[in-house]
Structure 1
Amino acid sequence: MWLLRGFPAFSASSGLCLNKTKTDIYFNGMPGTTMANILQVSSFRKGTLPFRYLGVPISSKKLSKNECSKLTERIVAKIRSWGTRHLSYAGRLVLVNSVLTTIHTYWANIFLIPNGIMNKIDSICRNFLWSGKDSYARAPNVNWKTCCTPKEEGGLGIKNLKEWNKALLGKYTWWLAAKKDHLWVRWVNHVYMKSGDWHDYTAPLDCSWSWKKIIQVKESFKAAYVGSQWLNQNKPYTVDAGYQWIRSPATKVQWRYTCWNSLNIPKTSFIYWASKLERLLIRDRIARMGFGQETTCYLCEDGTETHHHLFYECEFSKQCISILQQRLCIKFPPQSFDQWCASGRGKSKLQRKVISACVVGLAYEIWHARNIARLQQQVCRPDILVCRIVTNVKHRWSKNNHSTLQQRHKVWMDNLG
C-alpha cells in the first residue's frame, strides 16, 4: 500500500501520469485473498512471468530457447535485408564483426545467454560469412574456432561470443570483488552475501538461476582478482581485459604484418589469409575431399595444383613474381617474404607497407587469374596483372594518405610506374 501511495506523489512532482491499461503487477508467495485485495485497490492487471522489458525477457527461472528466439530473429532479419547485395568475403567479415556479433551485446550485458542460442548465433554468422545466407548452404573453408581467434594469431578477429558474454558479466563480479558503491551491490550483499567473503562464496541451492550463473562466471575470474585489484594492478576491470584473460591465447603468426597491412585492399587480405592457412578450394584439396580426380594446374597445365605450386612454383606465378620484384627493386625468395617484412631490414616503414600490399595483391590476382582460366579458359598476361596490382596499391595509398612524401619516397613511388 505504501507503494500505491507513492505513485500520486511521483506524478505531482514529475508531471508523469500512470497508465493503468499498460501496467501489470506481479506477485510472489502471497495468499490469494491478499492478491485480490491489492488488484481491487490498484485497478492493475495481474501479470505473469516471463515478460519483456525494453525488449529483454524478464524471468525468475532459466530462460528457454523460445524466450531468446527474438535475438536470433533480429540477426536473421539483418542478413536478409542484405540479401540482394553482392558482397565479397571481406565485406561480409566487416558486417559480422561490426553488426551481427554486436546485436547480442545488449542482452549479454544483462544475463548469461543459453548455450543453445549462442550456438545458433555462431551458426548464423558462420553461414553468412561463407555463403551470404543465414542458413547452411556450403561447407566453410576454415573452421569457426580459427575464425574466432585474433588476427595476429591467424584468425579473423571475430569474437568468441560465449567468452565475450562471460567477460561482459565479469563486470558484476568485479563490482562485488572491488566493493563498488552500487545499489545492486548493496542489495546482493544484504540478500545473498550476508557480508561474507566474496572469494570463498558459493551460491545456495535455492537461489535464482541468474545469480547462479554470475557465481559461475566469478569462478572463471577468481584468480585474476587480487584483493580489490584486477591482475594486481591499479587498473579497473574492462570487458576487453576480461575477454583476453578468459580465452586461451595462441602463438602469433609471422605473416600477420603482411596480411593485415593497412594499405591492403580488404578482399586481397582475405584471400591471402586463406592461402596462408591452405584453405582455398584448389584442385588438389578438392580431390582429397572426394569431389574430383583431376589435379593439373589451370594456369601452367603442368604439375599438381597445390597451394605451394600455385603461388610459388607455377611458371605463370614465377613470371609475375619476377616482374613484381623488378618493379619494387627487391630480390628475395617469395617464401621468406613474411620473415623479411617482419624484420624490416633495408626499407622504410612506407616502403614495407607498399611492398606488403603488392605481395598480398599478387596472391589475390594469381587466385583470380586461376579462376578465370578455370571458367573461361583464358590466362592474363603477367605484365598486365602486375601493372594492375601496382596501380591499385598506389591509388589506395593516395586516397588514404594526405601527408607530404619525403623526396626519396616520392622518387621511389614514381619509379613504381
Structure 2
Amino acid sequence: MREIERFCRTYLWTGDTKTSKKSPIAWDSVCKPKVAGGQNVKNFHLWNKAAILKLLWALAFKPDALWVKWVNAYYIKGKNMFTMALPTSASWVIKKIWSSIELLDRNSECKKVFFAIGSFSIRKLYAALIGQFPKVTWRRLVCNNLASRKSLFILWLAVQGRLPTKDRLQHWGISTDGMCTLCGQVWQQVLQLLKIQRPSLGFEQEIQFAVRMRKRSTGINKVFAVVFAEVVYGLWIQRNQRVFAGHIQTPDQIVRAAIFGIACRCRQSDIHLLMF
C-alpha cells in the first residue's frame, strides 16, 4: 500500500514513478476534498479500511453468502461476533477483518454508517473515516471551473504559495527582486479586456477579488475564474520558458494565447465577453 502511494505521489510531482523530489504539498493535504483545499485523491489506507469494513458488514448482515456461512460455521458458531474472542487459529484475512471492529468503537460516524439500514456504501464510510475539514476561502476558483486541468493544478499550487515564485524565493532567504513586472503588465491587459477599470493588485488581493467575482454568475463574472486560472498558468509557463529556454513572449502574446484557450473551453454564449 505504501509503495502504491509512493508511486502516485512521485508521479504527481515529477511525471514518472522513478524520479523523486520533495513534494510541495503534503500527501494528506492532496487527499482532502477540493472544497477543503485538496485534490480529492483517495487516501489508499483509509479506502482499504473502508473496503475491509465492508467484509465485516457482510459477515454481520449477509448470512446467505457462501463465505459468510463458512466463517460462521468455523469461527463464530452462533456467538456475537462483535464481543467474542477471535480464535488464534484464524487466518490473517479473518484477523484483518476482525481488527476493523476497533474502528467502529473509535469512530462514531463510522459506526453510524455501518449500522445504517440499507445497503453498505464504501464511499460513505470512507467519508466518515477521512472526516470533515474546514472549507478554504478560494474553493470557488478551483471547483466547477471550466479551465484546463493543468491550469487548475497550477492555480491550486499558486493560491497556496507553493510555486517557486520571486516572493517565495525571498521567503526562503534567496536574494531577488520580489516584483514581477510581466505579471503586472499581462494582468493589466486582461483587466482592460474584461472592462474592469482599476490597476492590477498584488496576487493575494487578486485572489480575493477573483473569489468575490466567482460568487456572482452574471456578465463577466461567469468567465472570470476561467480567465484567472488560464492567465496564471500562462504566466507560469512563460516564466519557465524564460528561465530554462530563454524564450520570451510579449505580454500581448501571453494574453492572446490565454484568451484563445479560454474561448475554446467556455460556453458559446460567453465568447463575446472575451472579444478584443
* Consecutive unaligned residues in structure 2, runs of 5 or more: 199-204
**Cα distance 1:133–1:414, how it changes in 2: closer, same or farther (>3 A)?**
closer
SS in 2 for 1:155: coil
**Higher alpha-carbon deviation: 173-182 or 278-287:** 278-287
Length-normalised TM-score, structure 2: 0.83
- 2:103 paired residue number: 220
CA distance in 1, matches of 2:166, 2:188: 25
- 1:131 paired residue number: 14
Aligned-residue Cα RMSD (Å) equals 2.8
1:214-253 maps to which residues of 2 (within 5 A)?
A: 214-222=97-105, 223=108, 224-225=110-111, 230=113, 233-253=116-136
Q: 1:392 aligns with which of 261, 265, 274?
A: 261
CA distance in 1, matches of 2:261, 2:18: 35
Q: Is the 8 A contact 1:373 1:379 kept in 2?
A: yes
CA distance in 1, matches of 2:38, 2:237: 22
1:331 is displaced (CA, Å) by 5.9
1:162 is displaced (CA, Å) by 1.1
Q: Is the 8 A contact 1:141 1:279 kept in 2?
A: yes
Q: 1:381 aligns with which of 237, 247, 250?
A: 250
* Consecutive unaligned residues in structure 1, runs of 5 or more: 1-117, 297-303
CA distance in 1, matches of 2:115, 2:51: 20
1:259-278 maps to which residues of 2 (within 5 A)?
A: 259-278=142-161
SS in 2 for 1:210: helix
- 2:175 paired residue number: 294
Q: 2:50 aligns with which of 167, 172, 181?
A: 167
Q: Which runs of 4+ in 1 moved over 6 A?
A: none
Task: State how many pairs are aligned.
Answer: 266
CA distance in 2, matches of 1:129, 1:167: 24
1:321 alignment partner AA? W
**Cα distance 1:232–1:214, how it changes in 2: closer, same or farther (>3 A)?**
closer
2:132 alignment partner AA? P
2:44 alignment partner AA? L
SS in 2 for 1:134: coil
Q: Does 2:195 align with 1:329?
A: yes
1:264 is displaced (CA, Å) by 0.7
CA distance in 2, matches of 1:151, 1:130: 18
**Cα distance 1:146–1:380, how it changes in 2: closer, same or farther (>3 A)?**
same
Q: 1:413 aligns with which of 260, 263, 271?
A: 271
CA distance in 2, matches of 1:369, 1:414: 26
1:207 is displaced (CA, Å) by 2.0
CA distance in 2, matches of 1:210, 1:138: 36
- 1:354 paired residue number: 223
CA distance in 1, matches of 2:40, 2:189: 34
**Cα distance 1:202–1:326, how it changes in 2: closer, same or farther (>3 A)?**
farther
Q: Does 2:26 align with 1:154?
A: no
1:219 is displaced (CA, Å) by 2.2
**If you compute each CA radius of gyration, which structure gives the higher value, 1 or 2?**
1
Cα offsets for 1:111-160 (capped at 9, x unmatched): xxxxxxx1111112222222223224322222222222222221222211
Compare relative contact order (CA 8 Å, sep 6+) and give the higher one, 1 or 2.
2
Q: 2:185 aligns with which of 319, 329, 340?
A: 319
CA distance in 1, matches of 2:139, 2:84: 43
**Cα distance 1:329–1:216, how it changes in 2: closer, same or farther (>3 A)?**
farther
| Percent identity of equivalent pairs | 28
